[in-house]
Chains A and B, each alone.
Chain A
């Protein structure tokens, strides 16, 4: 999952560094992720993982690292499979 997230970061994150060189915990905002790009990133993640981010997860923190994105996606999947 993390590799797929990195792939989307590469295509939609508009960050000046190679996502493969970022650790799972690396701060994506420090790496150059802007709030504008984070919206594009979110839309691409929704397409790739066929999920919909709920309003409560549309936070800066949700997109702050590869790990945080993964956790958010898992949370969404857990919630949608429970209903």
Chain B
């Protein structure tokens, strides 16, 4: 196997966007190209992919999900997930940052019909892109999204909250945060609301540093958060509803799409290794392992895209989203897509052999291997299996 230097196969970053193709695919491709250029540095330094996120702002991708009636692009879940897939092929951290931001936008877009301040926020977001981070994690709740310790406190006319967050991805870089808390001091742990906090309303004190194997550019440091805000910063719908109808399904769809992108890139590298080998040997001997790998990739792609279409077809029907059967199905997407990613990267490693194992080749799989395990441990698959085990006590859908 030749040890080719790491080469960028990406087009040059355009100096200006004016006069360029304004289609969704073209916008996404330009951001993906920038993501690819900086991917190795983002990973090595564990730094935020500022270039790609700036490009997302410039291309209008951050407010894409906002309906046209509020000044946004009115992109659908198919378009958002296709962008996740494209970014995942070049820099998984960029893919995850984009994905997590879109989850937040979706939560506001889909649950703000009754709130003029929220609609006003979306109009402003469509006009001037803002990056939104998620503050749903909390120390002491065992990683359960649907449990909060901290509560919204009444502070005269204002409201306040304090939260110990073990991770807030890109917390330092975000313009705004969406944070879960109990509805009030006397509310139960699962009686939660979602609060939209602007950065200048928050004090973030960093409590830990994100030193991880993969997804290093998400900069998911830990923070102590305290905030003071107006009552209308609280989304008008209980978090239980926002979670089951939007945040959980959208999370699994956008993440699985990023993982599909990582898998696609791993297979591309494996294919390249096989071809280089064949070229060097002067014999076009096919690799059955590569054939198996491509088959796995196609199965994963079918599963992820089918789940996206399924969500798109039911997203306007709360009854179709709120069933236990759907909760099980969307949890299964997370399980199967993350396991497929790890399998595919490992199989790709067998195909590339030492060339993929090395860090200084064009077909290196180091980053993909490290990123892939993040998919399994982030919202641990064991926890999801336990949740489904409970739901299966009730649901009888085959």
Interface residues of A (CB under 8 A from B): 15-16, 29-36, 39-40, 42-43, 53, 55-56, 58-61
Contacts and interface: CB of A to CB of B under 8 A. Distances in A.
Closest 4 CB pairs of A and B: A32-B188, A58-B324, A59-B322, A39-B394
A66 B240 CA distance: 18
Contact of B394 (A30, A32, A33, A53): A53
B129 to A, nearest CB: 33
A59 B323 contact: yes
Given A35-B146, A55-B323, A16 B188 contact: yes
A39 B390 contact: yes
A29 B238 contact: yes
Contacts of B319: 56, 59
B329 to A, nearest CB: 12
B201 interface: no
A34 B190 contact: yes
Contact of B393 (A39, A60, A61): A39
Contacts of B324: 39, 55, 58-59
B319 to A, nearest CB: 6
B397 A55 contact: yes
A60 B245 CA distance: 11
Contacts of A34: 146, 190
A29 B394 contact: no
Given A33-B190, A40-B393, A55-B395, 14 more contacts: A29-B191, A30-B183, A32-B189, A32-B191, A35-B190, A39-B391, A39-B393, A42-B394, A43-B394, A53-B394, A58-B394, A58-B395, A60-B241, A60-B322
Given A29-B190, A29-B191, A30-B191, A58 B323 contact: yes
Nearest to B393: A39
Nearest to A60: B322
A44 to B, nearest CB: 11
29 contacts: A29-B190, A29-B191, A29-B238, A29-B240, A30-B188, A30-B191, A31-B188, A32-B191, A35-B190, A35-B240, A36-B390, A39-B390, A39-B391, A39-B394, A43-B394, A53-B394, A55-B324, A56-B319, A56-B323, A58-B323, A58-B324, A58-B394, A59-B319, A59-B322, A59-B324, A60-B240, A60-B241, A60-B322, A61-B322
